[in-house]
Amino acid sequence: MTVNKLNIIKIVLALIFLSAVGYGAWSAKSGNLMTVAELRSWIISYGFFAPLVFILIYGTMVTFGFPAVLCSTVGGLVFGKFYGTACNLFGATLGASGAFWIARIIARDFVANKFATAKWFHAFSKGIERDGFYYMLFIRFMPIFPFNGTNFASGITNIRYRHFLFATMIGMLPYDFALTNTVVEVGESVANGFEPSPGLIAALSLLAFVSLAPIRIKKYLDKRKGLVRAEAGTGSE
């Protein structure tokens, strides 16, 4: 791909991004933002193609750094637990892939400069070089690095796209299901007058476990590393 073509693509992407931001700001100021019910009705109006429309919107927004958790909330409210989980998973993976390829093909230098001073990036790039698929899977299971940052950063590493893709899909599934399930249960609870139910309690417990378990595991691994280093230092003496 020539330099001129790359520059044109960069300009087009920048215009799309600025247009989206401008439209969002105008909508918020003018009070034209959709309610959840209106958004749900609009997506459902596409009938058989509604999931595809949602996945494309989800993927586009995440590609440009929009928080995936907000998109997943909409997916749960629109499609329910199981279809919502599937749509959210494919949407998040599409968005992650979009950011990956933007970094790899179009904005490699920009992304490299952006993350050059980030402490987590150096550990991330070393892990990717050493283990590739398994390290990415570990990161998706245990979101110790920012999701959007990881997507862009992966594009400038030597990880193969198929490893990035499958590790992302497999690793995000537990949290994706837990979040979507919680959104649906909370929505049903609100509809019933904030009545707690066994399903809501179970969903919140699962989400708490999936969210907090990685933190505990990371602390344990860090502690183990510290012990190993201490033992190595003692042994060398």
Q: What is the pLDDT of residues 7-51, one digit of tens each?
A: 555 555 555 555 555 545 544 455 555 566 677 788 888 888 999
First to last CA, the chain: 56
Least confident range from 20-34, 82-96, 129-143, 202-216: namely: 20-34
Higher pLDDT, 231 or 71: 71
Q: Amino acid letter at 204? A: L
pLDDT for res 42: 82
The beta-carbon contacts of 125-132 under 8 Å, at least 24 apart in sequence, are 125/153, 125/157, 128/154, 128/157, 128/158, 128/159, 129/157, 129/158, 132/159, 132/160, 132/163
Backbone angles phi, psi at 222, to 5 degrees: -65, -40
pLDDT for res 71: 87
pLDDT at 106 over 60: yes
pLDDT at 211 over 80: no
Structure tokens at 212: 């907090």
pLDDT for res 221: 61
Helix/strand/coil percent split, the chain, to 5: 85, 0, 15
Higher pLDDT, 88 or 17: 88
Gap between the Cα atoms of 151 and 104, Å rounded: 10
33 within 8 A of 27, measured Cβ to Cβ: yes
Percent of the chain with pLDDT over 90: 17
Gap between the Cα atoms of 43 and 49, Å rounded: 9
Instruction: Band the pLDDT of 1: cuts 50, 70, 90.
Output: very low
Neighbours of 128 (CB within 10 A): 22
